[in-house]
Amino acid sequence: MKRIEFKDGKLYTEVRFKFQGKVTKTANIIIDTNSAGTVISKKTAIKLGIEKDESTFYEVLDSLSVGPLKVSEFQVTISDIEEDGVLGLDFMKKVGAKINLDAMTISSSRT
C-alpha cells in the first residue's frame, strides 16, 4: 500500500524507476486512469541515464514500482511534459491496482 496525495485537482504518488541498474524516485507522478500508457518526463529519463534527441520515444525500464506494486521490464513513453510522469492504466492493470480515496492509498486488489 502506498500513500497518494490530492493536489491541484490531481492524484499524485511516489514512484521508483530502475533502468540499467540505476534507481531514481520521484513524488511528482500523476495517477491517471484516463491515460492508456505510462509516461515519464525527459527530465526523469535523464536522471536515469536515458538521453535521446527524439521528441517522444519509448524505453523499457528494468522496473517501475509504486510501494509494493512492481512491474519488471516495463515499457514507458518518454515525452517533454511538466510533471515527472503519468502513471497510466497499463501499469495499474498489470498490478491490479486499487485506489482508495477514503484512505488516500493505492494498493493491489490481488491478495
- List average pLDDT for each run of 10 residues in the chain, which is 111 residues long: 96 97 95 97 94 89 97 96 96 97 94 60
Spatial contact of 106 and 13, defined as CB atoms under 8 Å apart? yes
Domain with 35, as residue range(s), is: 2-108
Q: Quick one: cell of 108?
A: 493491489
**Based on the structure, what is the number of domains in the chain?**
1
The pTM assigned to this predicted structure is 0.93
Q: How many angstroms separate the CA atoms of 71 and 2, rounded?
A: 15
Q: What's the half-sphere exposure (Cβ side, CA atoms, 13 Å) at 77? A: 14
Cβ–Cβ < 8 Å for 26, 44: yes
Q: Which CATH number covers residue 99?
A: 2.40.70.10
